[in-house]
């Protein structure tokens, strides 16, 4: 897998966003948009998926987190591939923790296939995270939940979907949100009217607000205040 795109924090780093792109994209596809909305204390990591054959696209090779066999919600799924991708995300979280960022200051996010991976990775991680941003996606291996859930039921999830999505049907997003709400306490599902399989300025503004809310830390402002008021 190629090196991730990293956007360093512009102030002292106290939080991290790890965001996974959609099928056929790269980390560069989201890094600029996310850099424009993240708080100054947040580092953004946009990994690029390995290039592999995708059954849904006639076996053509493209960046893909795991194989997609169908976009039918009850169809067969690439369980070993999903779990291997999950292990990779868990490794990225662990690397941030080793660098001094606690798990509850790490946000996982993603779009489409990347959002599916973010949801699965967060639910199967053994430490509470700051939250999950899941855009235009679904919960993979949904029949294994809630039994497969390892994380706290309090981890917040922000799920967003356009009601004109021709790729990952809006109904799949709704069904995933309903299932998540049955075993997670803090799930928000927001509909974007007229939006197809993409993002929008309104959605990005909402993502900006939610990650700021999840990672806001009173000590952040106090530390800056103390710094500027130090008596030498």
Active site residues: 112, 165, 197
Q: How far apart are CA 184 and CA 172, in angstroms?
A: 18
Token duo for residue 180? 């998540």
Q: In what order do the strands lie in the sheet with 157-162?
A: 5-7, 42-46, 15-20, 106-111, 131-135, 157-162, 187-192
Q: How far apart are CA 68 and CA 53, in angstroms?
A: 9
Q: How far apart are CA 27 and CA 32, in angstroms?
A: 10
> What 3-state class would DSSP assign to 219?
helix
Closest CA to 4 of 120, 84, 68, 95: 95
* Cβ contacts of 177 within 8 Å, gap of 6 or more: 159, 187, 189
């Amino acid at each position: 897998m190629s090196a991730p795109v990293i956007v360093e924090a512009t102030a002292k780093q106290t939080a991290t966003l790890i965001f996974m792109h959609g099928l056929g994209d790269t980390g560069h596809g989201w890094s600029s948009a996310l850099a424009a909305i993240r708080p100054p204390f947040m580092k953004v990591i946009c990994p690029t998926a390995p290039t592999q054959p995708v059954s849904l696209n006639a076996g053509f090779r493209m960046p893909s987190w795991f194989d997609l066999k169908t976009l039918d919600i009850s169809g067969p799924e690439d369980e070993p591939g999903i779990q291997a991708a999950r292990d990779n995300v868990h490794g990225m979280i662990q690397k941030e923790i080793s660098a001094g960022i606690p798990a509850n200051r790490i946000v996982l996010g993603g779009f489409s296939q990347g959002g599916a991976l973010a949801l699965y990775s967060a639910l199967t991680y053994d430490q509470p995270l700051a939250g999950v941003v899941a855009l235009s996606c679904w919960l993979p291996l949904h029949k294994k939940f809630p039994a497969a859930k390892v994380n706290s039921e309090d981890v917040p999830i922000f799920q967003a979907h356009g009601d004109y999505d021709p790729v990952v049907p809006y109904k799949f997003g709704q069904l995933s949100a309903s299932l998540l709400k049955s075993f997670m306490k803090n799930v928000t599902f927001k509909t974007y009217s007229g939006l197809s399989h993409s993002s929008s300025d309104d959605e990005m503004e909402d993502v900006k607000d939610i990650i700021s809310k999840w990672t806001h830390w009173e000590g952040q402002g106090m530390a800056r205040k103390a710094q500027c008021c130090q008596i030498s």
